[in-house]
């Protein structure tokens, strides 16, 4: 699956991107300014074009995850997960009982309790809601063999920039130490029942990671916008 990260709280932008053919769009509430009300409207815009809305929550905290999931987002990306216990806490925040502790109410995610019984919705939500865990530190890499054992995690997502920072070479993604970390993560995830996810910088990177076994591949909106606009201006000003 191929998706795009968007950090701007603009439903119209999401609607436009929905026409482009993305499999999923990630509303980045960790490094962006979107609040639950913004995300609710962005989810509506994504649904207009049948693109899967995913939310990257600001932090791995149950009350925060609850509010963003109640908007109707179909999956959650949880940043800065460093241990199996933290991964388990994220899962429990997303899932309803008996697997988790997510509070149940008649909210937008279940059509305000107007269409199906809550018991039916809970079963559906627990089965279908995606959980993507970010691996962004050296501590997380060390704990990854235990993290991948946690049930109901769908994707282990490599955060390249934060990993390079944790390795002491911020932004140097081609540094041998960083590449070795990527390979270690890849081998661990591909040896588990989880899908491998990654943030890439361009189409070449996406193809390379696809060949390495990644199945959940994302790119930042700015990584696409910048080269397209600079290329246009260079061409017309030549």
Mean pLDDT of the 13-31 span: 98
**25-35 per-position pLDDT tens digit:** 999 999 999 99
The whole-model pTM stands at: 0.96
Q: Is 19 part of the annotated catalytic residue set?
A: no
Average pLDDT across the chain, whole number? 97
**pLDDT reported for residue 207:** 98
pLDDT at res. 199: 97
Average of per-residue pLDDT across 185-212: 98
Q: In Å, how far from its chain's centre is CA 55?
A: 6
Q: Backbone phi, then psi, for 91, in 5-degree steps?
A: -60, -45
Mean pLDDT of 209-224: 98
Q: How far apart are CA 234 and CA 232, in angstroms?
A: 6
Domains annotated on the chain, with CATH: 2-236 (3.20.20.60)
- What does residue 72 show for φ and ψ, rounded to 5 degrees? 110, 5
Buried b / exposed e along 134-162 (16+ C-beta atoms within 10 A): bbbbeebbebbeebbebebbbbbbbbbeb
pLDDT in tens, 46-72: 999 999 999 999 999 999 999 999 999
Residue 196 burial (10 A CB sphere; 0-12, 13-18, 19+) = buried
Catalytic residue (one of 19, 31, 165, 175)? 31
Share of the chain above pLDDT 90, in %: 100
- Residue 131: pLDDT band (50, 70, 90) is very high
């Amino acid at each position: 699956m191929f998706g795009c990260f968007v950090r701007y709280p603009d439903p119209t932008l999401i609607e436009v991107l929905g026409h482009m053919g993305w499999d999923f769009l990630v509303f980045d509430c960790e490094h962006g300014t979107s609040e639950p009300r913004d995300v609710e409207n962005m989810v509506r815009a994504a649904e207009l074009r049948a693109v899967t809305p995913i939310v990257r929550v600001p932090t791995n905290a149950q009350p925060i995850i609850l509010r963003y999931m109640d908007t109707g987002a179909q999956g959650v990306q949880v940043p800065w997960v460093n241990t199996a216990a933290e991964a388990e806490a994220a899962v429990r925040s997303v899932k309803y009982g008996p697997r988790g502790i997510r509070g149940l109410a008649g909210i937008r995610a279940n059509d305000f309790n107007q269409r199906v019984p809550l018991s039916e919705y809970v079963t559906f939500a627990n089965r279908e809601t995606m959980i993507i865990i970010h691996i962004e530190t050296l501590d997380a890499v060390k704990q990854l063999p235990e993290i991948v054992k946690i049930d109901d995690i769908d994707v282990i997502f490599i955060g390249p920039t934060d990993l390079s920072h944790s390795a002491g070479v911020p932004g140097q993604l081609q540094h041998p130490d960083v590449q070795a970390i990527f390979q270690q993560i890849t081998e661990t995830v591909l040896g588990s029942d989880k899908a491998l996810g990654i943030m890439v910088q361009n189409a070449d990177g996406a193809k390379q990671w696809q060949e390495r076994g990644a199945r959940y591949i994302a790119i930042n909106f700015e990584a696409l916008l910048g080269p397209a606009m600079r290329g246009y201006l260079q061409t017309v000003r030549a």
